[in-house]
Amino acid sequence: MEKSEAQVADEIQWIKRAQQGEAEAFGPLVQKHQHRVFSLVYHLVRRRDEVEDLAQEIFIKAFRAIRSYNFQSSFATWLSRIATNHCYDYLRHERASRVSFYWQMGENSQQELETNAESQPEQGLDHEEQIVLKDLVSKLLDRAPEDDRKILALKELQDYSVEEIAEVLRLKPTTVKVRLHRARKRMLKDLRRWREENEGHAM
Amino acid sequence: MRCDDVRDQLDDLWEGEVPGAVRQHITQCAGCARYHRDLRLVRAGFRLWKYEEAPEPSLGFAERLVRQLSAMSKGPSVTDFFERVGRRFVYATLVLTFLALLALALPPTGPVRGLSAADIQISTQEASLAYSDLMGESNIQEFPEQAPGEAPAPTVPNEAK
């Protein structure tokens, strides 16, 4: 949806006042972007109970750094960059779990899940299967290298375009495409390795 | 088709329709069939996450945040406090260092720190007097005690006696 000129002008005014240290002017910016930040944090961290605390820290960080915002990119992109970096600072201290509900399923249940996953998940998968599948992907993301995680989360979970990802991560769109391709490949390779490990333990 | 090429194509397509040649390879190759099933599994998991609603900000989230920011910007923060104290400490150290260097550079005697020449002369005279008293002889002429109004007795040179 195109933003009206008046909305853009208002946002510029709020930003300029916030740059002068006026906290009240930052309020409308929080109101306007909070849903985007909450969604981004949730998809990057995937822990519902952590979202609000992290979002609050991100907005505080943004207010402190707002003087460095130079209107080169959109405010939303600038804020997304801060949010992405903040979430990955947080995740860096978290250890990837070696356990997933998926590996605790029997072989038949795994096959059933795979068959159901071929259709659109909302129709084919029951609630329990959805939890298992989300947990598997979440753990795979946790295990992935940081650059892969960022790019996959922004593309696959947040549904950003290649150009938007390029702006947030300060990369060229062609680099984003190449990295995305490699990240998907690495994730599938890791899944295969993880499967082999678990099958080895099961024997 | 080689397995690597098939898997590359699958990664490229991701969400797209699998071409006939790739599909045919998959039906004949167990490894690539497994790869394709994993890809669909991961893709389905991503889709589930994508459509998952993020939690809503709690009521008054923005207002609370603005109040917090206002309080932070009004009162000096702990960091500011330490910065200010640190800066003063550095200035004080510089001043003290300058004074110490100045003290070392100045001569041990002088108008500020040492005795003046006149003071030295007076104290030398006093010392020599004290020495003479101790030794019982004096080079300074002493006048005999006399009554008020009486003329002083004339001094006779030793040779005349």
pLDDT digits (tens, 9 = 90+) for B112-139: 555 555 666 766 777 777 777 777 655 5
Taking contacts as CB-CB distances below 8 angstroms, the residues of chain A near B34 are: 192
CATH of domain A1-94: 1.10.1740.10
**The one-letter amino acid at A134:** K
* Structure tokens given for B89: 């400490």
Nearest to A121 among B48, B57, B65 (CB): B48
ipTM, 2 decimals?
0.83
Give the residue extent of every domain in chain B: 3-51
pLDDT recorded at residue A43: 92
Contact criterion met (CB < 8 Å) for B54 and A51:
yes
| CB within 8 Å: A191 and B38 | yes
Which of A101-110, A140-149, B117-126 is predicted with the least confidence, judged by mean pLDDT? B117-126
Residue range A114-144, pLDDT digits in tens? 888 777 656 678 888 888 999 999 999 988 9
Q: How confident is the prediction for chain B on average, in pLDDT?
A: 78
User: Where do the DSSP E strands lie in B9-124?
Assistant: none
Report the chain B residue with the minimal C-alpha distance to residue A111. B37
Which of A23, A34, A136 lies nearest to residue B57, judging by beta carbons?
A: A34
pLDDT of A151 over the 70 cut: yes
| pLDDT given for residue A183 in this prediction | 94
Structure tokens at B29: 């190759």
- Provide the residue ranges of all domains of chain A, joining segments of one domain with +: 1-94
What are the start-end ranges of the E strands in A131-183?
Answer: none
Determine the distance from the C-alpha atom of residue A1 to the mean position of all C-alpha atoms in its chain, rounded to a whole number: 22
CB contact under 8 A, B48 and A137: yes
- How many angstroms separate the CA atoms of A114 and A125, rounded? 10
pTM exceeds cut of 0.80: no
Res B110: pLDDT: 61
Check CB contact under 8 Å for A188 and B42: yes
Are B68 and A60 within 8 A, CB to CB? Answer: yes
Q: Which residues of chain B have pLDDT under 50?
A: 159-161
- How far is the C-alpha of B41 from the C-alpha of B46, rounded, in Å? 9
How many residues comprise chain A?
203
Half-sphere exposure of A158 (CA within 13 A, CB side): 28
Of B38, B50, B62, the CB nearest to A31: B62
| Tens digits of residue pLDDT in A40-88 | 999 999 889 999 999 999 999 999 999 999 999 999 999 999 999 999 8
